[in-house]
Structure 1
Amino acid sequence: MGTQVLVVDDDPTVSDVVRRYLERAGYQVTLAGDGDSALETYERTRPDLLILDLMLPGVDGLEVCRRIRQNHDLVPIIMLTALGEEMDRIVGLQLGADDYVTKPFSPRELVLRAQSVLRRVQPAPVDAPLRDGDLEVDPARRVARLSGHELSLTVREFDLLYYLMSHPGVALRRADLLSAVWGWTFGDQSTVTVHVRRLREKIERDPANPQRIRTVWGVGYRYGA
């Protein structure tokens, strides 16, 4: 079985174009046209990647994302959003989406985003685990633990945490993090802000007064003192 991709969009023209480009890139593609069928198809096929339009009839894309993230943290999710849906993009990222592409989009760009996200799911056995007190991140197994308890992290959250921990004490610009973790040379830097906020809620004793991921005002973020 090859890499399975579930594409959810109620526009058959968009779905067909995306399907053809993904199949040319070697992926096996399943389509769904609304939120209810997306959830049913996801449970039946358990795809390796979900490409999800936010504006769906019935159960909308944000609710589909939320329900899937309740039980499945590791499957990458790429959102398809309209140009004016900035708040929906932010909410989608907060719910655990890993990436987004704004409509109208280039199908080639979407394929590249899919390849980038899927590469990051693969383990990196050459990298050693990192530890900071009771926090341990193991990139080979893609497991993060806090006080011995496994953390529920999305693909991007894991990659962002590991990258930050790999550069302790270094002030990293949001643009640099966007490039290193997302593979984007341009994009909305609020994506980084949202993911940092989600990470703090999971690894900080007091997310409002973070001690691990610190804000460097006017620059970005720094891991540790």
Structure 2
Amino acid sequence: MIHLFNWLRRIGSPGAARSHFSRSVPGWKDEHMSDDVWLVVGLGNPGPAYAGHRHNVGYLVTDELAARMGSGWRAHKTGRADVVEGRLAPPGTPGPRVVLARPRGYMNESGGPVKALATFYKVPPERIIAIHDELDIAFNTLRVKLGGGDNGHNGLRSMRGSLGTGDFYRVRAGIGRPPGRQDVADFVLSNYSTVEKKELPFQVMDAADAVESLMTEGLEKTQQRFNS
């Protein structure tokens, strides 16, 4: 799937063309950049056995963002997550610092690593963006919002518990409800269908665009653009 993302980027994908991410990691310490830091969390389960599952779409989106930054993942010194550090660089402005993060624990253990990173980078909840799968939204559809409940999502529930609040941003990537009587847990912990795999790269790029838009244009404009 990653090869397909790269192929789309080489032929001029819309997401890559609109990206504002700096491709220079040294820019992280640029004295002229904003002091504000955004923490962008891709929710999922670690390891190759889970890589293609619907529940791991947050990982796919953070992989797309890391590719736009031209940076690779590394283990954070907390030992509880992998991170990519960079910054946004819209034309003529220094832009905020950005930390992409993937907790190393399983989905229902996401909160502890997120809290540790938020403390380390001094990021308040209102500058945290969680990217996750959403059953109640149709596949290939996005919704962006601030705050709210967890709607049965264990990753969000864990984050709410550890942060002490649900007032963080969510980029919700729709996966739809399981067909027939298929168990919900089996559905989210299974691979996308053959038809869905053809559209998935576009949903991933749209979600990555939505993350960038939140950090540069704010919630209202992002919702107008991406909430369909």
Instruction: State the TM-score, normalizing by the size of structure 2.
Output: 0.38
User: Higher relative contact order at CA 8 Å, sep ≥6: structure 1 or structure 2?
Assistant: 2
User: Could you say which structure has the larger radius of gyration?
Assistant: 1
Which of the two has greater strand per residue?
1
Instruction: State the TM-score, normalizing by the size of structure 1.
Output: 0.38
